[in-house]
Amino acid sequence: MLNTPSSQDVTRLLTRRLLLTAGLVILCATGPAAWAADPIVTPSIGSATDAVKHTITELLRILDEPTLKQPDRSDERRQAIERIIMQRVSYEEMAKRALGTPWAELPETDRREFVELFVQLLRDNFAGRISEHSAAAVSYLSEQQEAHFAEVKTHLKNPKVDTQVDFRLFLQSGEWLVYDVVVDGASIVSNYRAQFTSIIRDVSYVGLVKKMKQNAVSVKFFEHPSTR
């Protein structure tokens, strides 16, 4: 089974300490086809910082809504978070950058397959480890922009959280979309790329896809024991 990239410390940061990434993970729990769904169109909201601030504000509002924390409203809560995150995250771009050079050689059908498997991998590594979260104070430190790319640096803090989170975005059709999240210096994309490169070197791209499929099947098996 594929492990979280680079080190278990990255997993802990992303799943236990980071509210925004927790929201991203819940989106991944919708399944492999989530990346291909029609995006929810929203008016352009200006700078990359404005885009990140809008998304975090909406996400924290949902996470902190008492009525949505009731067990019988868990699906409603997840769907609300999905709608927010799908406006801001490009899983296709994230998967493309995580795979690296081999992406250019893949036909469109193989690219779609890889993105689906990548989303499933995120889900498998992070979903189910999301604990209860309390409100965090978010400070927006700076924004660096070059052409159609930007990096927004933020800091999240509450009694249990004290971490820097940088969002890397690109401009597409008038909207800023996230393609990477850097937590205390650890990039999701870079860590996965290192792992994928190592596996491809050892067993080829076909071998990587096989491992990712095996990982997805094994997780589904344990999630649905009644189907055995």
d(CA 10, CA 141): 22
Please give the pLDDT value at position 31: 38
Q: Which pairs from 198-205 meet CB under 8 Å and 24+ separation? A: 199/2, 200/102, 205/102
Please give the pLDDT value at position 200: 96
d(CA 218, CA 142): 42
d(CA 85, CA 24): 6
Helix/strand number for the chain, H first, E second:
7, 5
Instruction: For 120-140, write each residue's pLDDT tens digit.
Output: 887 666 544 433 344 668 899
- Which positions of the chain have pLDDT values less than 50? 4-43, 127-134, 219-228
Please give the pLDDT value at position 19: 39
What DSSP element (H or E) covers 155?
strand 149-158
Question: Can you give the pTM of this predicted structure?
Answer: 0.73
Instruction: For 76-98, write each residue's pLDDT tens digit.
Output: 887 787 778 778 889 899 999 99
Q: Count CB atoms within 10 A of the CB of residue 102.
A: 15
Please give the pLDDT value at position 71: 83
Closest listed residue to residue 63, CA positions, set 192, 178, 161, 181? 161
d(CA 215, CA 165): 28
Q: Count CB atoms within 10 A of the CB of residue 11.
A: 17
d(CA 181, CA 183): 6
Please give the pLDDT value at position 37: 38
Please give the pLDDT value at position 14: 38
Please give the pLDDT value at position 66: 86
